[in-house]
Amino acid sequence: MIVLIDYGVGNLFSLTSSFRAIGQDVKVTGDPEELKRADKIILPGVGAFRDAAALLRERNLDTAVKQAVKAGTPLLGICLGMQLLFDKSYEYGEYEGLGLIPGAVRPIRDVIPQDLKVPHIGWNPLIMKKESPIFKYVHDGDCVYFVHSYYAADCEEAVTAAAEYGAELTAAVQKDLVFGCQFHPEKSGEIGLRMLRAFCEF
């Protein structure tokens, strides 16, 4: 069973539709107990890091996610869900993340030329950095859809793909069984569905 964590951050309609499109059943739940029984876990998220991290903590989902990872359950964080995998974020302050991948989330504005707009929004080709099981059916140069104002930094060892936007921004990461993508696979057409399929098959 694949569990999609519902912790009150954002709309899960598109993600659940994507899994339906690839013929994969998912259980949408906010119950930490369900994570123990999961074969794989998806951590979605949109909005502000601070609020999302607080919601995970309030519902004891932070501990449940960490325990599941320790027990060998593959985890995929999507967009803000990926950012939450890191040690901390500097979005409007300094906030602690799940600490599953070493690194920090920093403002895009600090690393790109002034004439480029923030958020980084739109279709951007992936620059593959390392092999990763989630990219089994995805290739260098395939375009995926991004919407974000912060990016994962200080995590070079974990970066599996990047996107060029005045600087190379982290697009996807992996550390052992913990995966993350900054882009939205549920909005990235066939390429996004392929990535989700590869994660399900992994």
Partner 1 sequence: MITKRIIPCLDVRDGRVVKGVNFAGLNDVASPVELAAYYSANGADELVFYDITASAEGRALFTDILRETAGKVFIPLTVGGGINEVSDFDRVLKCGADKVSVNSGAIRNPKLVGEAAKRYGDQCVVLSVDVKRVDGVFRVFAKGGRENTGMEAISWIRSCVEDGAGEIVVNSIDTDGVKQGFDLEMLEKVCDAVSVPVIASGGAGKISDFITLFRTLPKVDAGLAASIFHFGEVRIPDLKQAMKDAGIPARTAV
- Where do contacts with partner 1 occur on this chain (CB under 8 A)? 11, 13-14, 17-18, 20-21, 47, 117, 119-125, 142-143, 145, 147, 164-165, 186-193
Q: How many CB atoms lie within 10 A of CB 1?
A: 12
d(CA 167, CA 103): 17
Q: Which of 120, 148, 184, 200 is catalytic?
A: 184
Tell me which DSSP letter residue 136 carries: T
186 is catalytic: yes
Name which of 66 and 187 has its Cβ closer to partner 1.
Answer: 187
Taking the least distance from each CB to partner 1, the nearer of 17 and 67 is: 17
Min CB(70)–partner 1 separation in Å? 33
β pairing state of 150-153 and 101-107: antiparallel
- Element (DSSP H or E) covering residue 17: helix 13-21
Least separation in angstroms between CB 20 and partner 1: 7
Instruction: Tell me whether residue 79 is one of the annotated catalytic residues.
Output: yes
In angstroms, what is the minimal distance from the CB of 137 to partner 1? 10
Cα–Cα separations (whole angstroms), residue 177 to 8, 38, 58, 162: 25, 14, 25, 19
- Measured between alpha carbons, how far is 163 from 172 in angstroms, rounded to an integer? 9
| Comparison of 62 and 186: residue with beta carbon closer to partner 1 | 186
| Minimum distance of partner 1 from residue 109's CB (angstroms) | 13
Single out the catalytic residue among 91, 155, 181, 186: 186
What CA–CA distances, in Å, run from 13 to 6, 66, 130?
11, 25, 31
Catalytic residue among 79, 155, 181, 200: 79
